[in-house]
Copies of this chain bind each other. A is one copy, B any other.
Amino acid sequence: MKQKLSIVKIGGNVINKSKELDKFLHDFATLDSLKILVHGGGRKATEVADAMGLEAKMIGGRRITDLANLDIVTMVYAGLLNKNIVAKLQSMECNSLGLSGADANVIRAHKRIVKEIDYGFAGDIDAVNTSAISLLLDGGITPVFSAITHDKKGQLLNTNADTIAAELAKGLSDQYEVELIYCFEKNGVLRDVNDDNSVIEEINSSVYDTLKKKGIINEGMLPKLENCFDSLQNGVHRVILGPPELVKNRRKKFTTLSI
C-alpha cells in the first residue's frame, strides 16, 4: 500500500497576513502524514520592487518577469518568504527544508515560448525529480517549495505556484497516495463569488463543464481547476479546495473534485 502524502498549496493572501500564516503553519506542522508545502508570493515582491523603484509589469493580471523582476522574485520567494516559513516550521518541530526547483534539480522547466505575449523569465514545467524529493521525505524532511524553477542550463525561472503543486502531485503519485490541498481566501469554489456560503461541495468533470459554460467559474479559478483536473487524470488520489484551516479541520464545507 502506498504511503499517504499531503501536498498543500498556500496562496499569497495568507502569506501576507502574519497571524493567519502562523496559524496555518501550526496546523500544517501537526499533519501526521508525509507532507509538502508549496507557497505563493503575495504582495511582498511588489513591495520590494516598489521600494527599489522598479515597476511591476503585468499583462492580464499576470506578471511579466524581466531580468530585474526575476532577481526580485528570486530574492523574495526563494529567500525571504521561503526561509522565514522554514524557520517558523522548525520552531514548531516540523523538520522542513526550503527548495527552489534548481535545488537538487527538483523541478526543471523551460522559458515560456513567446506567442502573443512575452512573459519573460516565466517557466513552464518539464520534469519533477521524484527521487530527490523521496530522499528528503524518507529522511523525515518536509520540503517547502517556493515558486522558482530552473532550466538546468543555469537560468532561474518564475513559475506559477498552483502549477508547481499540481506537477509535484502528479509526479509523486506513482510512489505515494497523494492528496492535493489548495488553500486560499475563500471557503471553496463558490457559486456566487460574493457569497462565501455558496460553496460547491462536489465538482466532477461534467459538473465542471457545466459550470464553465454557465460562466459560474470565474477567470482566476479557471487555471487553478484546470491544474486540479489534470492532476486527478494523472493519478492524484484526491483534490480539495478551501480555506487554510482545511489542512487540519474538515468540519466546515469545502470543495472536493473528482473525475
* Copies of the protein in its oligomer: 2
Residues from chain B with Cβ under 8 Å of A87 in the complex: 102, 150, 154-156
Within 8 A of B (CB), among A112-157: 132, 135, 139, 141, 148, 150, 152-156
Give A80 Cβ to nearest chain B Cβ, in Å: 5
The stretch among A7-15, A88-96, A216-224 that forms the contact with chain B is A88-96
Give A16 Cβ to nearest chain B Cβ, in Å: 15
A134–B99 CA distance with the chains assembled, in angstroms: 18
Judge whether A203 is part of the interface by a CB distance below 8 angstroms: no
Residues from chain B with Cβ under 8 Å of A102 in the complex: 83, 86-87, 90, 98
Judge whether A59 is part of the interface by a CB distance below 8 angstroms: no
Q: Report which of B76, B135, B150 forms a contact with A75, defined as CB distance below 8 A.
A: B76
Interface footprint category on A:
35 or more
Majority secondary structure of chain A interface residues (helix, strand, loop or mixed): helix
Judge whether A197 is part of the interface by a CB distance below 8 angstroms: no
The stretch among A48-56, A174-182, A238-246, A247-255 that forms the contact with chain B is A48-56
Judge whether A38 is part of the interface by a CB distance below 8 angstroms: no
Residues from chain B with Cβ under 8 Å of A71 in the complex: 80
A97–B129 CA distance with the chains assembled, in angstroms: 13
A104 in contact with B148 given A75-B80, A84-B74, A91-B154 (CB within 8 Å): no
